[in-house]
Amino acid sequence: MRITEHGLLMFFYGSVVGSVITYYVTYYNLTREKRIISNVRRQLGHLELFHDLTQREYDKLQFSRDFVSDERILTFYGWAQRVTKGETSKELRKLEPTSLAAEVIICEQLLGLSASDAVQALLNCEDLDELKTLRRKGSN
């Protein structure tokens, strides 16, 4: 078998293309979790405005990075993704995993409600202002 200039050039181009693809796939996979965490935290900031939170709860959510850990956010997001993408009802498929994860965090961590309460709240509200009707356990 004879190695020609053309064959060497094709091998070089193939190596370059393979390296570039590998780099971008690796970069995408490494930053995926960071993007998920950032998106859920941003959604937390958005949804907190629609809840009737006390000043203490608002400050806790707004200013405390320890309020919810990155690992916990990824756990909530994974659950929300399974719920919204799995073989569930059509209503659940309408929910966006990032919003659902953020709402579950607010309900469980601040309001003392369950994940099913968060799901029902998002399904039943036509406007996000209706989330103010969610009440803490024991406040009724």
Question: pLDDT tens digits, residue range 11-20?
Answer: 888 888 888 8
Range of the domain at 14: 5-133
Residue 140 lies in a domain: no
Give the residue among 118, 124, 121 at the shortest CA–CA distance from 106. 118
Count how many domains the chain has. Answer: 1
Other Cβ atoms closer than 10 A to 3: 8
Low-confidence ranges of the chain (pLDDT < 50): 140
Q: What is the pLDDT of residue 83?
A: 84
Q: What is the pLDDT of residue 78?
A: 92
For 25, half-sphere exposure in the C-beta direction (CA atoms, 13 angstrom radius) is 6
Q: What is the pLDDT of residue 76?
A: 92
Residue 138 lies in a domain: no
Q: What is the pLDDT of residue 140?
A: 46
d(CA 103, CA 101): 5
Residue 10 lies in a domain: yes
d(CA 80, CA 95): 9
CA 47 to chain centre: 13
